[in-house]
Amino acid sequence: MPTSVIRPARLAGHLVPTLAAIAGPVALFLALIVLTDGAGSGLPSWLATLGIATAAALGRSRRCIRSARLVPFLPVVVAAALTASVCIPTVPTARQYPPDLPFVATQHWNLTTGSRIAVYHYPPTNTGTRHPVPFVYLNGGPVRGISVLDHRFLQLLARQGYDVYTYEQAGGGRSDLLPMGQYTISRSVRDLAAFVDRLGKGRVDILGFSSGGVVLTRALTDPRVAARLHRAIIAEPGPMDGPTAHITGHKGRESARDLAPTMTGPRSTLVPRYAVAFGLMRLGLLTPDTGLIGQAEGDNAFIAADLGSDTASAYCARDAHRIPVEDTEENFSFSPAASLLIQQTIKDSPSIAPQLRHSRTPAMLMIAECSSQVRQWATTILAEDPAIQRTQYMPGVGHHIWNGLDDNNNRAAAIVTAFLQDKPAPLPNYPTRSEIPTFLRDHK
């Protein structure tokens, strides 16, 4: 056999067993992490893995000649180093909150629910028309800071005479964290009611976007909370309950998910500790309150780049190469564990359709042409809520409707203000309830 073939074969013969000897302890370590739910920051799993791998290497070394008895321990050392990196935090373990924004004051309100939230107020700057009903914005997330892009849209509404308030939901942005077990969709609805009470200005108009639209939809099913609402705008909602969450269906027109340039730069999911923690949580193999990383550490570690293609999915395919920067690095905040918990409580909840059918709060539904949301999430709300007075299907935008591109902010503001002032809609009322089957069939 030629030397050019023999040498690679010999190398492979040595390399494959070595890699297997490293992979075995790593696989054992990950299995123990899952079985113990990451207890003790993974250290007990690491010690157990090290002990078992060392004992196995010791057994192999006894069968080796004297000069090679240390060789079986080399893969153990490599595996120990790799797995140890999963147990060592690389960011602060106490919550590091974003600094205040330079263009709006951050207020902190204590709600009767026990939540301490960050609140932002944009008084009306239009010296002419002033709208008497306060306007409240519920951002998406579920547990995420309000982006600079959203703040700019709220400033636009304030310039049109609206008294605008918004808050970051408990655990998001500059709001205080909750104990992990308290993150539920029901708590989010109670916090909304408590916020309106704390505001103390009577009934309010509310725009709920994405998961904020879910909070608003569920608020409409509780007469005690709905009594605090004047008009409701549900924009690009997620699933409203368990049955809806399990619907499989098509989404909107093509988004920029697989077309936009890949995000560059550092991300926490390239660090072994957070890659393992976030990855196993997303797969459901670790609970959101895992002992591997704490809530605060996870929040500190997660950065905008970790969202990957999720950001691009909020834009139309035609905008793939001009997606705006939604937020600053300093302002970005997302809580992956708390968000997973709230999403799970939605998936576990029974149908709210019977309660939604009794809603009497005037409402509007906003749907984006290139939405990354399952269409039935929105059309189910339209079908079940008799108080939805109009639907606005917005061409040329993705999930993030007010995205700062072209005149999209002004178009969104025109739709919002027309409904709040009970004026004719800028767009056709589409789809109506009777048009839902056709709308879904045509994959609009």
Q: What is the DSSP string of 306-324?
A: GGTHHHHTTSBGGGTT---
| 61 band by pLDDT with thresholds 50, 70 and 90 | low
What's the CATH number where 204 sits?
Answer: 3.40.50.1820
Residues 6 or more apart from 279 whose CB is under 8 A from it? 269
In this structure, the answer to whether residues 262 and 116 fall within a common structural domain is yes
In this structure, the answer to whether residues 169 and 236 fall within a common structural domain is yes
Q: Is the pLDDT of residue 15 over 60?
A: no
- Lookup: tokens for 177: 């964290």
Domain carrying residue 27: 3-84
In this structure, the answer to whether residues 371 and 244 fall within a common structural domain is yes
In this structure, the answer to whether residues 179 and 318 fall within a common structural domain is yes
Residue 91 lies in a domain: no
Q: Is the pLDDT of residue 7 over 60?
A: no
The model's pTM: 0.91
| 13 band by pLDDT with thresholds 50, 70 and 90 | very low
In this structure, the answer to whether residues 123 and 76 fall within a common structural domain is no
Query: Of the spans 79-88, 132-141, 306-315, which averages the highest pLDDT?
Result: 132-141
pLDDT at 76: 72
- Mean pLDDT score, 241-260: 92
Q: Give the mean pLDDT of the chain.
A: 91
In this structure, the answer to whether residues 67 and 117 fall within a common structural domain is no
In this structure, the answer to whether residues 114 and 42 fall within a common structural domain is no
Please give the share of the chain, as a percent, with pLDDT higher than 70: 91
Least confident window among 77-86, 158-167, 315-324, 360-369: 77-86
Residue 97 lies in a domain: no
Q: Which of 49, 84, 119 is the last residue of a domain?
A: 84
In this structure, the answer to whether residues 73 and 141 fall within a common structural domain is no
Residue type, 414: A
- Mean pLDDT score, 108-112: 98
Residue 92 lies in a domain: no
Cβ atoms within 10 A of the Cβ of 326, count?
19
pLDDT in tens, 312-341: 999 999 999 999 999 999 999 999 999 999
Q: Is the pLDDT of residue 6 over 60?
A: no
Question: What end-to-end distance do the CA atoms of the chain give, in Å?
Answer: 64
Nearest to 399 by CA among 251, 298, 242, 190: 251
pLDDT at 111: 98
Residue 380 lies in a domain: yes
pLDDT at 327: 94
Residue 244 lies in a domain: yes
In this structure, the answer to whether residues 309 and 342 fall within a common structural domain is yes
Residue 348 lies in a domain: yes
In this structure, the answer to whether residues 197 and 68 fall within a common structural domain is no
- Mean pLDDT score, 218-225: 97
Q: Which of 30, 49, 84 is the last residue of a domain?
A: 84
Q: Is the pLDDT of residue 235 over 70?
A: yes
Question: What CA–CA distance (Å, rounded) separates 169 from 387?
Answer: 26
- Mean pLDDT score, 267-292: 92
pLDDT in tens, 381-420: 999 999 999 999 999 999 999 999 999 999 999 999 999 9
| 202 band by pLDDT with thresholds 50, 70 and 90 | very high
Beta strands in 123-173 (DSSP E): 135-138, 164-168
Residue 147 lies in a domain: yes
Any idea what the Cα angle at residue 36 is, between residues 32 and 42, rounded to 5°?
70
pLDDT at 64: 65
In this structure, the answer to whether residues 21 and 170 fall within a common structural domain is no
- Mean pLDDT score, 425-438: 96
Q: Is the pLDDT of residue 5 over 70?
A: no
pLDDT at 10: 45
In this structure, the answer to whether residues 395 and 293 fall within a common structural domain is yes
* Number of structural domains found in the chain: 2
| 11 band by pLDDT with thresholds 50, 70 and 90 | very low
